[in-house]
Amino acid sequence: MIQKSFVMIKPDGVSRRLMGKILSRFEQKGLQVIAVKLMQISEDLAKTHYGEHEGKPFFEDLITYITSSPSLAMVIKGEDAVLTIRKMIGATNPSEADVGTIRGDFAMDTGRNIIHASDSPESAKREINLFFDESEICDYSIVDNIWIYE
């Protein structure tokens, strides 16, 4: 099923100049970027986005990290995009992430794991609505899709 996922390059990924390399991985896979926004995330937005983790020992550090410097928020579309992108980013702890995944190749520490992606279609819907207006999402078609999908 064609899905949309919310993906965000976190402050460490942006500030380590990894935006281009990470975006290239999604493009070369055949996924389609349909919205991007470089933004400094407010404390309120960070707390809503990561609301499920409120009360956990790492929560305050997570909010400080995510609001410390700009992040690149994106919507990415494709067949089974949610699961495909979760596989591409790798395990939460970069030391457990497979080589070849984004966290496995570019990160060392759970608290600096450079990228977020929605973990279910329901989270994707919630997160896309949280970060983007409908009018900011570009639903265009690309001609090479005939070579990417049967």
Ligand X SMILES: Nc1ncnc2c1ncn2[C@@H]1O[C@H](COP(=O)(O)OP(=O)(O)OP(=O)(O)O)[C@@H](O)[C@H]1O
CB-based contact 112:16 (threshold 8 Å): no
What's the Cα-to-Cα distance from 8 to each of 22, 143, 148, rounded to whole Å?
10, 26, 24
Q: Which of 34, 101, 116, 132 is catalytic?
A: 116
Nearer to ligand X, 74 or 150 (CB): 74
Q: Among the candidate windows 12-20, 25-33, 69-77, 105-113, which touches ligand X by CB under 6 A?
A: 105-113
In the complex, what is the shortest distance from the CB of residue 136 to ligand X, in angstroms, rounded to a whole number? 21
CB-based contact 103:89 (threshold 8 Å): yes
Nearer to ligand X, 69 or 145 (CB): 69
Q: Which of 24, 40, 69, 92 binds ligand X (CB under 6 A)?
A: 92
CB-based contact 13:72 (threshold 8 Å): yes
Nearer to ligand X, 21 or 56 (CB): 56
Query: What is the number of other CB atoms lying within 10 angstroms of the CB of residue 115?
Result: 24
Assess whether 53 carries a catalytic annotation: no
Active site residues: 116
